[in-house]
Amino acid sequence: MPPPDSPPRQVLCLVVLALLLLLLRLSLASGGGGELTYLWPLPAEFTTGGDTLSVDPALALVVGGEGGGSRIVKDAFDRYKSIIFQHSGVFSIFNTLRKRASGYDIGRLRIVVRSGNEELQLGVDESYTLLVTESDGKSINGEATIEANTVYGALRGLETFSQLCTFDYSTKSVLVRQAPWYIHDEPRFAYRGLLLDTSRHYYPVDVIKHILDSMSFAKLNVLHWHMVDSQSFPLEVPTYPKLWQGAYTKWERYTVEDAYEIVNFAKSRGIHVMAEVDVPGHAESWGKGYPELWPSSSCKEPLDVSKNSTFDLISGLLSDMRKIFPFELFHLGGDEVNTDCWTSTTHVKQWLQSHNMTGKDAYKYFVIRAQEIAISKNLTPVNWEETFNAFPQSLNPKTIVHNWLGAGVCPKAVAKGFKCIFSNQGVWYLHYLDVPWEKVYTAEPLEGISDASKQKLVIGGEVCMWGETADTSNVQQTIWPRAAAAAERLWSRRDATSAGDVNTTALPRLHYFRCLLNGRGVQAAPVTNQYARSPPKGPGSCYDQ
Amino acid sequence: MPPPDSPPRQVLCLLVLALLLRPSLASGGGGGGGGGGELAYLWPLPAEFTAGGDTLSVDPALALVVGGNGGGSRIVKDAFDRYKSIIFQHSGVFSIFNALRKRASGYDIGRLRIVVRSGNEELQLGVDESYTLLVTKSDGKSIIGEATIEANTVYGALRGLETFSQLCTFDYSTKSVLVRQAPWYIRDEPRFAYRGLLLDTSRHYYPVDVIKHILDSMSFAKLNVLHWHMVDSQSFPLEVPTYPKLWQGAYTKWERYTVEDAYEIVNFAKNRGIHVMAEVDVPGHAESWGKGYPELWPSSSCREPLDVSKSSTFDLISGLLSDIRKIFPFELFHLGGDEVNTDCWTSTTHVKQWLQNHNMTGKDAYKYFVIRAQEIAISKNWTPVNWEETFNAFPQSLNPKTIVHNWLGAGVCPKAVAKGFKCIFSNQGVWYLDHLDVPWDQVYTAEPLEGISDASKQKLVIGGEVCMWGETADTSNVQQTIWPRAAAAAERLWSRRDATSAGDVNTTALPRLNHFRCLLNGRGVQAAPVTNQYPRSPSRGPGSCYGQ
């Protein structure tokens, strides 16, 4: 992760101001005045106070900086405004008028974005500063301020601001408690992912959008879209129009336009979409439209390594996808390859012999050739760890190793100079329903890596929502709240997430965040059930279950 | 249920026209035939319909044209916009080029004409929900082809819009929305006026947005009553201005509904043609009331039922009902009355004394309480609904306006209607959604009129309701517990009895229900797999939505 740009002058000015305020208000307790700060994930640095400020339901957006006028900022402000004021419906107009007379403490949100560059690249600056203080009395309207270097930092700041705003049922107004707030925040890892598997079950586009929305609430920033697998091939590929004949049904498909829409929807939430095309295994469904990709009609996986046309198709497929997915990382799979179909099918066996290859050699050959195709299209290849485990010397040095089988792989990968993504299945595979939240939370991507220069090669981690038993009816409840536990591990500082008893430092906040998700319409399951996604054990408050 | 008004002349005219123009029309309706051999993927099944063999394309820029006194209603316009975004959810910003290309060649359907005869938007029990829907190719005279919905009320128009949206499917080959098996002529109306879903916000609190999401999903299945079981022993989330300490009985200070929230829910429901029937369950199931007003408890150690001996108890109920009356315009109000254990009355000194003074047993006092609560409700111009225990215990004393809400078992509605009471069918063996061992077909084949043969008595069964008790259903799983089984009951309550009772349900209903479940999923509703042995359990493995 590149070091964040130095803070802009305006931010510095604000910091100085905040520090002055701090001096003036000696009562300010650092990091939370004894009361727990209900923020998730925990910001890098923050100070709070003892004031309670009211927020105007007619909160106005004021923008500044080269990027302030961005559509992304305006849309996000509108989204968050409707989240923050979801209790203040049409019937509260009278309330509003009454309050207007007496005045609100915060009438404006100022968002300053230094850069006008909206390119969403890995490691894009997501830092922000958020200041929520009472008006100094000089201006009529009090305001809160978010300052960031990019629009994506502004999005993170908006999420945090929305978490500071709570609806108070006594006064029927939105309040920020423990003000003044001064928050300076930035992510610990650049890559904070969630895998979604649209091959084992098809998720409608609206469901994927709903998941993207919920990811943004936890500051997750990569949707790893495991698009196709053995079971189904839902995606339209214009160059090879028969590929999506591998969809389950004619209704369970994604058009190119659907994919564009998902990428755009994600971008406006600061989320990268990393597509995966898993080769050469996990690809049986490809052959429904193009049976020549199967070694034979009775032995259908891995993809036929012996034919040039196989690689032509992969190249055409990747060209088509490159147009849709601007993210520089592209996942080529490479896991769980059983080469029996190659060594048992006559023409492939013949090919292996004439090239003097074993099945294992051919596996390497296939992976490397696929990598070359990806690199030729200006993509950085990501592979599941098997490719690294089997032939680390042959992998392209740009390869990002995606850990899953067990602990200790990222240490080995970074020792050899590879970048690595942490997804140890024992802790971060969400379909393992017997992994409780605290095991997810305490999993540490840098475990076993002490050299700082090597630590930098771990770009982050990812929770994986494999879809065998997760469909539209239960996918959100399988993802949440455990994905949030990983999200804080990946966003917040290591010392904040690793010190103390997680039942004190994290659990109450996670309960709160789960209920926040529920309030935003996300089907997050009870936090402390023994098995994930099981129903609540009985009647009770969301905050206890 | 009052008989529907005779169809407006315009509809008749259209019908005649359609019949004249298309002698090839296969007569469908009834037993679910209708439609060139292919199954009509509509849920619930319309009363009458005919289909054909054409495929028509629908313009993504579909325009709304309205007519009739009620056509200009905001409810119609909003619903059209909602359904348009559902129908064209695949046609995003990137399909502008497509749209332009298609425009040149022309779409078969460029306009949806909605004619609403009456301008009266009052949403009362038995409001006319009938509609006629005609989808045919343009006759060539006008440049723009159109589909037509005609209804007597805006609520009929809403039902017609839902049906129209189910006819529209996205075709992935042409990337356009098509209506297959056209021309469609559908004439539809509900079998029962009351088609309900109970939601229990006491055992678990559901955020307002979640309730709205549930209301949306109800409208997809043409359910039309949200029975809001607002408060119970566990928590009292609702704000009551006259008794501001009542919602101290909420689980937490964040798990509450303001009066404004309740208004918003009622309005949101009305826009979807859904009544909201509030329930305040007395005198049992009310422990949480006493958190703010401990004097409602017989004693601090014996907290249920509400103290029958104090006038202040009834004053509070009266004040509470006055406040709620302002929010809920629906004429039915549910007073509970179930599972009353009078031990706290007979064991608490001052209540026991009162019983003796009034020469009452616990059972007498139960009756006294229920009747007095009924009188309060009636005085506020409400029709009282009670769980069946009140009818089982003292049918002669109940106000004759009482609607008996069956739940304990079969055979109660027959008894209630025999005595002249109206009845709602919710037999727990089949229509309690928290019973997770009841598969979809048992829900589907449950018949509210079972055991009632006299037509005049049958009319007293106003409908039925599936109940989503909240003990183990929270925001994370409530929709997946409700759906798809609530849809099975919804078709039973909407469609004609001969259509839902004839033949093998695995042929006549299951494929359509699978389809409807996937439709719900496509609209963001977490409907569970249909044929799992236990509802709301996860799919058993990878597979198509349509096969699970």
For A401, the 3-state DSSP assignment is: strand
Measured between beta carbons, the chain B residues lying within 8 angstroms of A472 are 521, 526-527, 545
At A285-305, the pLDDT tens digits run 999 999 999 999 999 999 999
Name the maximum alpha-carbon separation found in chain B: 87
Determine, for residues A540 and B251 on separate chains, whether the beta-carbon distance falls below 8 Å.
yes
Looking at the complex, report in whole angstroms how far the Cα of residue A94 sits from the nearest Cα belonging to chain B.
Answer: 11
Contact A459, A189 (CB under 8 A): yes
Q: Which residue has the higher pLDDT, A280 or B106?
A: A280
Measured between beta carbons, the chain A residues lying within 8 angstroms of B253 are 169
A450 class by beta-carbon count within 10 Å (0-12 exposed, 13-18 middle, 19+ buried):
exposed
Query: CB distance from A259 to chain B under 8 Å?
Result: no
- pTM here is 0.92
The minimal CB distance from A261 to the residues B94, B529, B543 is found for B94
Looking at the complex, report in whole angstroms how far the Cα of residue B90 sits from the nearest Cα belonging to chain A.
Answer: 7
Q: In angstroms, how far is the first alpha carbon of chain B from the final one? A: 37
- What are residue A194's DSSP bridge partners? A223, A463
The minimal CB distance from A91 to the residues B92, B260, B477 is found for B260
Determine, for residues B477 and A525 on separate chains, whether the beta-carbon distance falls below 8 Å.
yes
Place of tokens 């190119």: A256
Contact A489, A454 (CB under 8 A): no
Ordered DSSP codes for B179-216? EEEESEEEEE--S-SEEEEEEETTTS---HHHHHHHHH
Touching A: B residues 64-93, CB under 8 Å: 89-93
- What are residue B423's DSSP bridge partners? B404, B461
Token digits of residue B221: 């299945």
Contact B283, B345 (CB under 8 A): no
At A359-384, the pLDDT tens digits run 999 999 999 999 999 999 999 999 99
**Active-site positions of B?**
339
Looking at the complex, report in whole angstroms how far the Cα of residue B470 sits from the nearest Cα belonging to chain A.
Answer: 7
For A140, the 3-state DSSP assignment is: coil
Q: How many of the other CB atoms lie within 10 Å of CB of A393?
A: 6
The minimal CB distance from B542 to the residues A200, A251, A260 is found for A200
Looking at the complex, report in whole angstroms how far the Cα of residue B247 sits from the nearest Cα belonging to chain A.
Answer: 10
**DSSP state letter for B479:** H
- What are residue A175's DSSP bridge partners? A54, A166
A16-30 residues labelled b (16+ CB within 10 A) or e (exposed) = eebeebeeeeeebee
* Sign of the torsion formed by the C-alpha atoms of B489, B491, B497 and B501: negative
Place of tokens 């009895």: B497
Contact A302, A352 (CB under 8 A): no
Helix (H) or strand (E) holding A192: strand A191-197
Q: In angstroms, how far is the first alpha carbon of chain A from the final one? A: 37
Determine, for residues B202 and A539 on separate chains, whether the beta-carbon distance falls below 8 Å.
yes
Mean pLDDT, rounded, for A529-543: 94
Touching A: B residues 466-485, CB under 8 Å: 470-477, 479-480
Please give the Cα distance from A475 to A370 (Å, whole number).
31
Contact A309, A292 (CB under 8 A): yes
Looking at the complex, report in whole angstroms how far the Cα of residue A143 sits from the nearest Cα belonging to chain B.
Answer: 25
Decide the pairing of beta strands A128-132 and A458-465. unpaired
What is the signed CA dihedral for B469, B470, B473, B478, rounded to 10 degrees? Answer: 60
Q: How many of the other CB atoms lie within 10 Å of CB of A2?
A: 11
Residue A23 has pLDDT above 70, yes or no: no
Closest CA to A331 of A397, A399, A376, A381: A381
Determine, for residues B476 and A172 on separate chains, whether the beta-carbon distance falls below 8 Å.
no
For A188, the 3-state DSSP assignment is: coil
Query: Which pLDDT belongs to residue B249?
Result: 98
Percent of chain A beyond pLDDT 70? 90
Angle at the Cα of A344 from the Cα atoms of A342 and A350, rounded to 5 degrees: 70
Q: Which residue has the higher pLDDT, A96 or A327?
A: A327
Dihedrals φ, ψ of A160, to 5°?
A: -65, -45
Query: CB distance from B532 to chain A under 8 Å?
Result: no
Dihedrals φ, ψ of A109, to 5°?
A: -115, 120
Place of tokens 């009278």: A94
Looking at the complex, report in whole angstroms how far the Cα of residue B434 sits from the nearest Cα belonging to chain A.
Answer: 11
Query: CB distance from A498 to chain B under 8 Å?
Result: no
**DSSP state letter for B302:** B
Place of tokens 């009188």: B375
Query: Which pLDDT belongs to residue B38?
Result: 53
Query: CB distance from B172 to chain A under 8 Å?
Result: yes
**A29-33, A342-346, B10-14, B16-20: least confidently modelled range:** A29-33
Query: Which pLDDT belongs to residue B137?
Result: 85
Q: Which residue of A has its CA nearest to B434?
A: A535
For B33, the 3-state DSSP assignment is: coil
Looking at the complex, report in whole angstroms how far the Cα of residue B545 sits from the nearest Cα belonging to chain A.
Answer: 7
Please give the Cα distance from B528 to A360 (Å, whole number).
42
Query: CB distance from B514 to chain A under 8 Å?
Result: no
Query: CB distance from A200 to chain B under 8 Å?
Result: yes
Measured between beta carbons, the chain B residues lying within 8 angstroms of A208 are none
**Active-site positions of A?**
336
Q: Which residue has the higher pLDDT, A396 or B101?
A: A396
Determine, for residues A206 and B528 on separate chains, whether the beta-carbon distance falls below 8 Å.
no
At A105-152, the pLDDT tens digits run 999 999 999 999 999 999 999 999 999 998 766 566 689 999 999 999
Touching B: A residues 230-249, CB under 8 Å: 231-232, 236, 244, 248-249
At A177-235, the pLDDT tens digits run 999 999 999 999 999 999 999 999 999 999 999 999 999 999 999 999 999 999 999 99
A55 class by beta-carbon count within 10 Å (0-12 exposed, 13-18 middle, 19+ buried):
buried
Query: CB distance from B436 to chain A under 8 Å?
Result: no
Determine, for residues B204 and A542 on separate chains, whether the beta-carbon distance falls below 8 Å.
yes
What is the signed CA dihedral for A243, A244, A249, A251, rounded to 10 degrees? Answer: -170
3-state helix, strand, coil in chain A (%, to 5): 40, 20, 45
Counted across chains A and B, CB pairs separated by less than 8 A come out at 199
At A481-508, the pLDDT tens digits run 999 999 999 999 999 999 889 999 999 9
Ordered DSSP codes for A205-272? HHHHHHHHHHHHHTT--EEEEE---SS---B--TTSTTGGGGSSSTTS-B-HHHHHHHHHHHHTTT-E
Q: Which residue of B has its CA nearest to A256?
A: B94
Determine, for residues B476 and A524 on separate chains, whether the beta-carbon distance falls below 8 Å.
yes
- Its ipTM equals 0.91
Token digits of residue A516: 């926040």
Mutate to test the interface with A, among B475, B531, B532, B540 (most CBs of A within 10 A): B475
Mutate to test the interface with B, among A244, A468, A473, A514 (most CBs of B within 10 A): A473
The minimal CB distance from B542 to the residues A210, A231, A521 is found for A231
Determine, for residues A472 and B540 on separate chains, whether the beta-carbon distance falls below 8 Å.
no
Measured between beta carbons, the chain B residues lying within 8 angstroms of A533 are 476, 538
The minimal CB distance from B542 to the residues A251, A467, A540 is found for A467
* Sign of the torsion formed by the C-alpha atoms of A382, A383, A387 and A389: positive
Looking at the complex, report in whole angstroms how far the Cα of residue A209 sits from the nearest Cα belonging to chain B.
Answer: 10
Measured between beta carbons, the chain A residues lying within 8 angstroms of B252 are 541-543
Determine, for residues B172 and A244 on separate chains, whether the beta-carbon distance falls below 8 Å.
yes
Angle at the Cα of B168 from the Cα atoms of B166 and B171, rounded to 5 degrees: 130
Token digits of residue A264: 């755009």
For A161, the 3-state DSSP assignment is: helix
Mutate to test the interface with A, among B97, B235, B266, B476 (most CBs of A within 10 A): B476
Give the 3-state DSSP-derived string for B380-424, with helices as H, strands as E and coil as C: CCCEEEEEHHHHHHCCCCCCCCCEEECCCCCCHHHHHHHCCCEEE
Q: How many of the other CB atoms lie within 10 Å of CB of A451?
A: 11
The minimal CB distance from A202 to the residues B234, B523, B545 is found for B545
Helices (H) and strands (E) in chain A, counts: 20, 16
Helix (H) or strand (E) holding A493: none
Helices (H) and strands (E) in chain B, counts: 20, 17
**DSSP state letter for A171:** T
Kindly list the distances between the CA atom of residue B11 and the CA atoms of B115, B132, B139, in Å, as whole numbers in the listed order: 9, 7, 18
Looking at the complex, report in whole angstroms how far the Cα of residue A27 sits from the nearest Cα belonging to chain B.
Answer: 27
Helix (H) or strand (E) holding B365: helix B362-379
> Along the 548 residues of chain B, how does pLDDT read in single tens digits?
344 444 444 444 444 444 444 433 333 333 333 333 456 799 999 999 999 999 999 999 999 999 999 999 999 999 999 999 999 988 654 455 555 555 555 899 999 999 999 999 999 999 999 999 999 987 666 667 899 999 999 999 999 999 999 999 999 999 999 999 999 999 999 999 999 999 999 999 999 999 999 999 999 999 999 999 999 999 999 999 999 999 999 999 999 999 999 999 999 999 999 999 999 999 999 999 999 999 999 999 999 999 999 999 999 999 999 999 999 999 999 999 999 999 999 999 999 999 999 999 999 999 999 999 999 999 999 999 999 999 999 999 999 999 999 999 999 999 999 999 999 999 999 999 999 999 999 999 999 999 999 999 999 999 999 999 999 999 999 999 999 999 999 999 999 999 999 889 999 999 999 999 999 999 999 999 999 989 999 999 999 999 98
B120 class by beta-carbon count within 10 Å (0-12 exposed, 13-18 middle, 19+ buried):
middle
Place of tokens 């084949």: B445
Please give the Cα distance from A403 to B96 (Å, whole number).
42
